[in-house]
Amino acid sequence: MKKRLIALLTAGVLAASMVPVTVFADDADAPTADVSSEDENTLSVYAWDANFNIPALEAAEADYQNNVNPDFKLEIITQSGSSDVENAVTLAGQSGDYSNLPDIVLFQDHYFQQFYQSYPDAWVDLADAEIDWDDFGAEKLSFSTIDDVHFGVPVDNGTAIMAYRTDLLEEAGYSIDDMTGCTWDEFIEVGKAVYEKTGKYLLCMDGSGNDLPYMMLQAEGESQFTDGEPTFATNEKYNQIIKNIVTMIQNNVLYLGNDWSDYTDQAIIGDMVAGVLNGNWIIPTMEQAEENSGKWEITSLPTLEGGEGFASNGGSSLYITGNCSKPELAADFLAKTFGAGSTETYDAALKNGGVITCSISAGESDVYQEGVDFFNGQPIYADIVAMGANVPVIEQSDYHYQARQYVGTAIQNLVAAGEPDDDAVAAALQDAQDQLSFEMAG
Amino acid sequence: MNKKGKSVRAKERRAGWIFLMPATIMILIMSFWPMIQAFITSFKSGKGSLLTWANPWNFNYARILQDKIFITSLKNTFLYLLIEVPIMLILAILLAQILNNKDLKFKGLFRTMVFLPCATSLVSYALIFKSLFATQGLINQVLMSLGIIHENINWLGTAGTAKAIIIIALIWRWTGYNMVFYLAGLQNIDYQVYEAAKIDGASPWSTFWRITVPLLKPVIVMTFIMSINGTLQLFDESVNLTNGGPANATITMSHYVYNMAFGQGVGHFGYSSAMSFVIFIMVAILAFINMKVGDTRD
């Protein structure tokens, strides 16, 4: 009897000990050793998406080899996600040992400011790099600029797109022209009609990421922060935006997913929606629902008072780290590829990785003018670059993601409490703002 | 003669220390040193690597009581504790009692089945529960086809059901683990005691309460302490099943500590360390009460 119990326990322990091994096996290629490059013509870089930003870096490597230095080599070290790069910087910063960082990192724009505040020694500025900064959208650069000094070279473009299924709009009696420059009130009416006729939601959001409020407020030209302090609770437009979001959720205009995979796999790929609003990097996700090819078109965002709204969400830039042993080479490489609006880099990045530039001159190349079948032949890349130039610059904050999280809590509470009135919205947002201020005071 | 004996004993003692040394040093470096560091950090404030001594010295600790989300996470954790631990331990003791039955067939098979959930990794079982209870998941499909519900329920997106699912998941995962301890305890109780009780005409109910429970008491106290300790440090389920949502309705204390330190990039390491020590003190107090209550010596 006891023997059997022991055998059982042993089997259990053995089985349990197997599990972590398989889990960690995935991380085995995450480098922990010294990753700074030795060779004088080699630079190392962290990036994370083999279908998106890594082809862009390969394009830049080829460009620099062809036109500047044939011996140049870019050692691209693949990470499993953007958070790996953030964790690597956190680890280096906390331990005060930057020797484990590569020469260059690809870094999420929204995170840069707070990582600069927390770990200033981890970064090297680009003050001396010969880059025509006016060629980039001002909004994009606002993320990577600290006290007018540039730190990052933009890679992709986070411009938000509002994509609609034209066939479903038509079924409900509307066209994409009706939606361009409409008010949010009109949008809600269309959304109700679309859901009634087709059973699809006109909008969706990841309920653990809550990125819509930020974009909708940016389309109004305003920020959740003023002079570093959160001020969204007393912002009338923001109150109206949150009220609209709650109303949309309650009327089946907006599908609120529980998390990111609910948002992408169920809502977008699972064909539950007639509209998508997010940074243009969401396009590859949309394209996975192949049966809807040709039915989508994109335009700008609705606004509260009507008129076209422009916003941006996400995106990343390349930054030189404090561990870079060849800052001149790194700056020259960045300046002559991504920084120079080089069509050789950006055309290949678009073709191989779907990376859309925010360099205005690179966006004029022929490749950008081509129509895209999935979007009914619309030349979406040129359209996105054009929209990107209109995105208003708003105040950014270290606490961007925290604000999103606390506002997400407010939205959840409002949805659960029934039809929202102005006072309830104001109170919920005040709670969110208080909690954020509390955290910031620490 | 006397001298020689002493030196042998000294030699033995030295050998003992040498054998103990590697493990002791490892524990000191890997476990106790970080604890001391964390305690020091808990008196600092600031972001990321820019930590300075907090002013006043108890700044972080005073903040904890004003933190609404920490209070929410505290309530959530204690709700899990109060509902989950009794259900789980009662189920475990009943299962152990059943599986200890001498006449039961396929005992090994049943025991393996009950214990098996314990052999799965915390993350993978949480993810499986998540997909089971997804809006388009298996549970909704089954309930729909049975006609019990008429539209998909958003189990993990609604506060009440999300909490219930975490509790169900915990019971599924940990009952077998506790059962093994009870089973081992039951096998140490001499069968003759039960036979004697039978001869005296005791009912199974009173046999259970008068014989099994008192004799199992040390094991029960141990499982209680382990369960309280484990529940107060609950992390994986909150992170992987619900990500603390909706609206922090399921967030646990450890999850909140993690969020403050690593969640969104702004690392409030001082405040997180302070919260960790508050949790540590809670565990210590509860364990102490438990040991006093369970202590049978006079």
The A residues from 339 to 378 touching B (CB cutoff 8 Å) are none
What is the interface size between A and B, counted as CB pairs within 8 Å? Answer: 125
Which residues of chain A neighbour B183 with C-beta distances below 8 Å?
5
Q: At A322, is the secondary structure helix, strand, or coil?
A: coil
* Contact between A86 and A355 (Cβ < 8 Å): no
- ω into B56 cis (within 30 of 0): yes
Q: Which of B45, B34, B31 shows the shortest CA–CA distance to B269?
A: B45
What is the ipTM for the molecules in this complex?
0.77
**Chain B neighbors of A9, CB-CB under 8 A:** 180
Q: SS in 3 state form for A356-395? A: CCCECCHHHCHHHHCCEHHHCCECHHHHHHHHHCCCCCCC
> Which residue does chain A place closest to B119, by CA atoms?
A16
Given CB atoms, is A114 within the 8 Å cutoff of chain B?
yes
Asked if A398 reaches chain B (Cβ–Cβ under 8 Å), the answer is yes
Pick A118's closest partner by Cβ from B49, B112, B260. Answer: B49
Nearest CA in chain A to B270: A442
Which residue out of A258, A262, A396, A436 would a mutagenesis test of the B interface target, given it has the greatest number of B Cβ atoms within 10 Å?
A: A258
Q: Which of A15, A90, A402 sits opposite B119 (nearest CB)?
A: A15
Q: Which residues neighbour A112 within 8 Å (Cβ) at sequence distance 6 or greater?
A: A143, A144, A151, A152, A317, A319
How many CB atoms are closer than 10 A to CB A145?
19
How many CB atoms lie under 10 A from the CB of residue B11? 10
Q: What domains lie within chain A, and their CATH numbers?
A: 42-157+314-364 (3.40.190.10), 160-311+393-441 (3.40.190.10)
* Shortest Cα distance, chain A CAs vs residue B249, angstroms: 9
Q: A325: Cβ–Cβ under 8 A, 6 or more apart, which residues?
A: A36, A37, A103
Chain A CA closest to residue B136 = A266
Residues with Cβ within 8 Å of residue B281, at least 6 apart in sequence: none
Question: HSE on the CB side for A79, CA within 13 Å?
Answer: 22
Using DSSP's 3-state secondary structure scheme, residue A355 falls into coil
pLDDT tens-place values along chain B, 298 residues long:
455 556 888 888 889 999 999 999 999 999 999 999 999 999 988 877 777 887 788 888 988 888 888 999 999 999 999 999 999 999 999 888 888 877 888 888 888 888 888 888 888 899 889 889 888 888 888 998 888 888 888 888 888 899 999 999 999 999 999 999 999 998 888 888 888 888 888 888 888 888 888 888 889 888 988 898 888 889 988 888 888 878 888 999 999 999 888 876 667 888 999 999 999 898 888 888 877 876 655 4
Report the relative pairing of strands A123-124 and A316-321 from DSSP bridges.
antiparallel
A20-52 residue pLDDT tens: 333 333 333 444 445 666 678 899 999 988 878
Task: Please give the DSSP secondary-structure letter assigned to residue A305.
Answer: S
Count CB neighbours of A123 within 10 A.
23
Assign A296 to helix, strand or coil: strand
pTM here is: 0.80
